[in-house]
Chains A and B, each alone.
Chain A
Amino acid sequence: MSEKMSDKTYRSPDQRLEEKKKSESPMRIVLNGLLYENPAFRLILGMCPLLAVTISAKSSLFMGFAVIFVLTGSEFIVSLLRHIIPDKVRIPAFITIIAGFVTIVQLMISAYLPALNDSLGIYIPLIVVNCVVLARAETFASKKSPLYSVLDGLSMGGGFTLALFMMGSIREILGAGTFFDLNLPLFGSVIEPIMFFALPPGGFFVFGICIVIMHFVVTRIKGSTSGKRNGSHPESEPSEPGCSSCGACSICSESEVK
Chain B
Amino acid sequence: MAGFLNSIDFRGLMIILFSAILVDNFVLSKFLGICPFLGVSKNLKTAMGMSTAVIVIMLLASAITWPIQHYLLNRLGIGFLQTLVFILVIASLVQIVETIMKKSMPPLYKALGIYLPLITTNCAVLGVTILNITREFTFLNAMTNSLGAGLGFALALFLFSGIRMRIEKSDVPKTLRGLPITLVSASLVAVSFFAFKGLIENIFA
Q: Which residues of A contact B (CB under 8 A)?
A: 1, 5-6, 44, 47-49, 51-52, 92, 95-96, 99-100, 102-103, 106-107, 121-122, 125-126, 128-131, 134, 196, 199-205, 207-209, 211-212, 215-216, 237-238, 240-243, 246, 248, 251-254, 256-258
Contact = CB atoms under 8 A, between A and B. Distances in A.
A47 B84 CA distance: 21
B184 A205 contact: yes
Interface of B: 28-36, 38-40, 42, 46, 80-84, 87-88, 91, 114-115, 117-118, 120-123, 126-127, 130-131, 134, 174-184, 186-188, 190-191, 194
Contact of A125 (B33, B82, B190): B82
Contacts of A208: 176, 179-184, 187
A138 to B, nearest CB: 11
A239 to B, nearest CB: 8
Contacts of B39: 240-243, 257-258
Given A107-B80, A126-B127, A200-B31, A99 B183 contact: no
A99 B87 contact: yes
Nearest to B119: A252
Contacts of B122: 129
B68 to A, nearest CB: 15
B98 to A, nearest CB: 11
20 contacts: A5-B174, A5-B178, A49-B31, A92-B88, A95-B91, A99-B84, A103-B80, A125-B82, A125-B130, A128-B83, A196-B191, A200-B31, A202-B187, A204-B184, A215-B175, A241-B39, A243-B118, A254-B117, A257-B118, A258-B42
A170 B25 CA distance: 24
A46 to B, nearest CB: 9
Contacts of B121: 129, 131, 134, 246, 248
A252 B118 contact: yes
User: Chain B's interface: helix, strand, loop or mixed, by majority?
Assistant: helix
A35 B31 CA distance: 25
A128 B115 CA distance: 20
Contact of A256 (B114, B134, B186): B114
A125 B126 contact: yes
A99 B117 contact: no
A51 B34 CA distance: 9
Contact of B194 (A6, A51, A199, A203): A199
A103 B83 contact: yes
Given A48-B32, A122-B134, A251-B117, 12 more contacts: A6-B177, A92-B91, A99-B84, A134-B121, A203-B31, A205-B184, A205-B187, A208-B176, A211-B183, A215-B175, A248-B121, A254-B114
Contacts of B183: 204-205, 207-208, 211
Contacts of A52: 30-32
B35 A96 contact: no
Given A48-B33, A52-B31, A241-B35, A106 B127 contact: no
A253 B186 CA distance: 28
A141 B122 CA distance: 22
B31 A131 contact: no
A134 to B, nearest CB: 7
Nearest to A99: B84
A242 B36 contact: yes
A95 B86 CA distance: 11
Name, among B31, B46, B126, B186, the residue most crowded by chain A CB atoms within 10 Å (CB to CB): B31
Given A96-B88, A208-B183, A208-B187, A122 B34 contact: no
A240 B187 contact: no
Contact of A122 (B131, B179, B180, B188): B131
